[in-house]
Amino acid sequence: MDTFIFSAIEFGVIFLFGCVGEILTEKSGHLNLGIPGIMCVGAAGGCFGAGIYLNATANPIGFVTILLAILFAMLFSGALAGIYAVLTVSLRSNQNVTGLAVTIFGVGFSSYFINNVVLVGETGTLLSAAGLNFFKAYLPFADNLGWFGKIFLGQGFLTYFGIFIAVAAAILLRRTKIGLNLRAIGESPATADAVGINVTAYKYVFVILGGAIAGLGGLTYVMEYMGGIVGATVADTVEGIGWLSIALVIFTLWKPDFAILGSIVFGALYIISSYVSLFFPNASFTFAQLKLFPLIPYVVTIIVLIFTSIRGKKENQPPASLGLSYFREER
């Protein structure tokens, strides 16, 4: 059971990064369907950055390794989100089409990049053994605190970083002027423009920042969850996680703090098929039946959508001008 909860949180954080990134993007009025591709690119970029450092030094420092991985993951995914931003903010292209193109590109690129540039040796290892251990490192006294220590203190650095970012995003949106301005832009860019908020700048910053944060989800998956050892189809898996992250945005009603809990629920549902004997010790499932469990998040999301649409509470709806380009002179 400990292992299950531990893994649910660990996996949930992957969703959490993607979800918080997409929330920030959507709050600026942009529906970025490129998030799955951006997460893949984040994974590739993070491994690449850490790999350079590990190759160059004989005695790598853990902190620097993780920092470089995070920086490069954000750099790569931010760059791809930047392309999306140029296309949708400045050139006002259709957001759905652009996002899908970004995903297709991101998945293809990172698949190539991981398999041909990043991989170390023949076994699908992304980093040298020393580097991999850094991502799994946890607080030394966690082992002494029983199940609590294992579940809550035994996680790798990226898990805490993800929760920190979610809390920070929640505070930003709810309690700061920047958050107020951002929400206004997502709801009604013309209103924001009329009171002198720089709509274009905000859109660029938050589309790119959102992409960069989502990219960390990909990094968390390959490094922390997979332990740095991946198969050739890793990009496809990350893409699937990316789509679920977008679904999670709806599930959590565009609230980053809800997303912390929501992501753990999604994480649990996603991995439950491996732990099915925990809950149903006597039952035996076929392979096909087990594959039904990861579908539950999608079903739950649809149910949430139905309920929020029926109740029609305005606060729980997507930002009013989500998906619409803004052009001041258009009247």
Partner 1 sequence: MEKTVALELKNISKFFGKVIANNKINLSLYKGEILSILGENGCGKTTLMNMISGIYFPDEGQIFVDGKEVVIKSPLDAFHYKIGMIHQHFKLVDVFTAAQNIVLGVNDGSKYSIKSVNAKVKEIADKYGFHIDPKKKIYDMSVSEKQTVEIVKVLYRGADILILDEPTAVLTPSETEKLFSVLRRMKEDGKSIIIITHKLHEVLAVSDRVAVLRKGENVGSVVTSETSESQLTEMMVGKKVELNIERSQPENTVDRLFVEHVDCMDREGVKVLDDVSFIARSGEILGIAGIAGSGQRELLEAIAGLQKLKNGKISYLDPATGKMENLQDKTPLQIREMGVRLSFVPEDRLGMGLVGNMDLVDNVMLRSYRKGKTPFLNRKDPGKLTNEIVSSLEVVTPNVHTPVRRLSGGNVQKVLVGREIASEPKVLMAAYPVRGLDINSSYLIYNLLNDQKKRGTAVIFVGEDLDVLISLCDRILVIGSGRITGEVNGRETSKEEIGRLMTKTVATESKKEESHE
How far from chain centre, in Å, is Cα 115? Answer: 22
Shortest distance, CB of residue 287 to partner 1, whole angstroms?
A: 46
Taking each helix axis from N to C end, the angle separating 199-219 and 2-27, rounded to the nearest 10 degrees, works out to: 160
Using alpha carbons, list the distances in angstroms from residue 3 to 113, 147, 268.
32, 9, 11
**Which residue, 176 or 274, has its beta carbon nearer to partner 1?**
176
Q: Report CA-CA distances (Å) from 138 to 5, 33, 323.
A: 17, 34, 41
Compare residues 254 and 266 and give the one whose CB is closer to partner 1: 254
> How many Cα atoms occupy the beta-carbon half-sphere of 234 within 13 Å?
33
CA distance 42 to 191: 34
For 27, half-sphere exposure in the C-beta direction (CA atoms, 13 angstrom radius) is 31
Q: Which is nearer to partner 1, 58 or 195 (CB)?
A: 195
Closest distance between partner 1 and the C-beta of residue 212, in Å? 25
- Least separation in angstroms between CB 309 and partner 1: 16
Nearer to partner 1, 195 or 283 (CB): 195
CB of 193 vs partner 1, minimal distance in Å = 7
Query: In angstroms, rounded to a whole number, what is the distance separating the alpha carbons of residues 16 and 138?
Result: 20
Nearest distance from C-beta of residue 31 to partner 1, angstroms: 18
Q: What are phi and psi of 30, to 5 degrees?
A: -115, 125
CB of 197 to partner 1, least distance (A): 5
CA trace torsion 132, 38, 328, 172 (10° rounding):
-30
Q: The tokens 């170390």 sit on which residue?
A: 120
Give residues in contact with partner 1 (CB under 8 A). Answer: 175-177, 180-181, 183-184, 187-188, 190-197, 314-315, 317, 320
Q: 172 vs 230, which CB is nearer to partner 1? A: 172
Identity of the residue, 27 or 30, whose beta carbon is nearer to partner 1 in the bound complex: 27
Q: Which is nearer to partner 1, 183 or 203 (CB)?
A: 183
CB of 301 to partner 1, least distance (A): 22
